[in-house]
Each structure stands twice: as C-alpha cells, then as structure tokens.
Amino acid sequence: MTDAPYTPPKVWTWDKENGGKFASINRPIAGSTHEKVLPVGKHPFQLYSLATPNGQKVTIMFEELLALGHKGAEYDAWLIKIGDGEQFGSGFVEVNPNSKIPALLDRSGPQPIRVFESGAILLHLAEKFGELIPRTPTGRAECLSWLFWQMGSAPYLGGGFGHFYAYAPEKFEYAINRFSMEVKRQMDVLDRRLADSEYLAGKDYTIADIAVWPWYGGLAKGLLYGESGTFLDVQSYKNVQRWTAAIGARPAVKRGRIVNRVSGDPASQLHERHDAGDFDTKTQDKLTAKT
C-alpha cells in the first residue's frame, strides 16, 4: 500500500495492470484479441454466457418461457469463460462488440439477429413471445422503468461496491463507504416499492423482477461478495427478503441460475447443449436445499 496520495497525470496512459481479481481481462480498448468461431447448436436461440448475475437473467428468462409452454424458446447455452478472455474471441465480438456476457443470436427467423446487453435480451424475448411484460401502457411503463433502473443501478453494486469491497488489491475507506451508501440507498428504494407492490411492476411477475433478482436478490440471500450481506445488513430490508424468497422458489429460477455455472457442486451445474427435458426432479430437489 502506498502512503503518498495519488495525483492524476494530465493524460492517462495504460502502462500497467491495475491489480485486483480481474486485472488480466481489463483493458482500455475494444475489439477481438484472437480468432475463434462460436459454436452453433440445433435450437432457435444460441446463448453465449456465464452464470454471473447478468448471465442468470437470460437463462432464467428462457426457463420461464419454457415453463409457460413455449417450445420455440429452446436454446443452446454455450459457456464463455470470461476469466480466460473468451469474450474477446472474434466470433463473440461479432455478436457483442462490447465483449460482455450475455450475448444472444436469435436464429428463429430467416436471418440471424444479434442481441446484446441483458436488458435488451429480456425485452427482445418478452416481446417476441408476448410474455412477462404488461400489455397496458401503464403496466408496461412501470415494468420498463424498473428494468432500466436495474441497468443503471447495478454497476454501482458490482463495479462499485463489489469491486472495492471484495476484489480491489487494497481497501480504501472512502471508496467502500461511497458505494456502500449508494447500495443501501438502492436497497431502500426496492424495499419501499415492494412494501406497496407484490412485484416490481405490480401484482404480476415480469422481466423487471427477472432483471433485478440475480443482483439484489443475490445480495439479499448473502450470495455476493463474501460477507457483504452482513456488512450491509441486508436482513433489515424485510420486503426485499420476502420478494427474494418468492422468486427464488420458482422452479424456472432454480434451473436458470445453474445454466453455465462453473462453481459449486458439479451436480448443480448445467453446460452447453441444454434441452428442457434433461433436468430431472431429483436434481431440482437437491438445489432446493443448496440455493
């Protein structure tokens, strides 16, 4: 740890890694670093992802659509190991020029359609299948407002609080306090909304809940960033806890959380080619206790 205060140079240059868990994959330029063709399976949708909170949003969405009886929502889930830099392969960059998971190739029509950014994928699928998004103008506006609230808020939780609390090579009181304050404010926003509403957009479960739950439900369940749940006193947000438990009990959510998962019990992981019928009830029962 350095004692001298940091004085920014007039022009920043990238002359060393910034340290921390993800230093090897952080860089100030876009584009591919190597040639790699993405695999393509037999199903209408090709998903290239990893079971991070952002990745879980999309697999949960697919599993909810399949549970609703939409056979056209079958998908191949291909694992992208972001720690190994696979998101910088040429094929992945063609689908998502931002080199972030998840990335989706919709091959259900005459021409493949690429969709990137998790919120855009949720909205694309909701509109395509006519599910999990309100049909009234008021309900739709509420749903989309919370969907985009998540897209704007989660970077403070992940890249802000999570980074400085769990991953940064040094602990900085100012940074941890700054982002802890913001995350607790966000949890209070959710708690106040859920005091008045069963789900974020109203009485019905929607893509807004699917987007928010992997991040803020994960925080409420103590699944993110080590001891952060205790540090942030997440149990005090009673309405968030009620909502978190209700969504976490859904079979499609349990299934969606483990697709492209690379940690934990191998029995609680699903990878690559994935059909609706290959997830048996015994595996489901095991997950009830573990997740």
Nearest to 216, CA basis, from 174, 245, 256, 252: 245
* Residue 264 pLDDT class (50, 70, 90 cuts): confident
pLDDT tens across 201-229, in order?
Answer: 999 999 999 999 999 999 999 999 999 99
pLDDT tens across 97-137, in order?
Answer: 999 999 999 999 999 999 999 999 999 999 999 999 999 99
Nearest to 60, CA basis, from 199, 186, 205: 205
**Are the C-beta atoms of 278 and 258 separated by less than 8 Å?**
no
Between 285 and 249, residue with greater pLDDT: 249
The CA-CA-CA angle for residues 53, 85, 210, to 5°, reads: 15
pLDDT tens across 35-44, in order?
Answer: 999 999 999 9
Q: Where are the beta strands (DSSP E) in the chain?
A: 45-49, 75-79, 103-106, 113-116
Where exactly are the structural domains of the chain? 137-253
**Are the C-beta atoms of 39 and 95 separated by less than 8 Å?**
no
Tell me if the pTM is above 0.85: yes
Q: How many CB atoms lie within 10 A of CB 291?
A: 15
> Does domain 137-253 fall into CATH 1.10.3720.10?
no
Q: Tokens 């029509």 sit at which residue? A: 109
pLDDT value of position 4: 75
Quick one: which H or E segment has residue 247?
helix 238-248
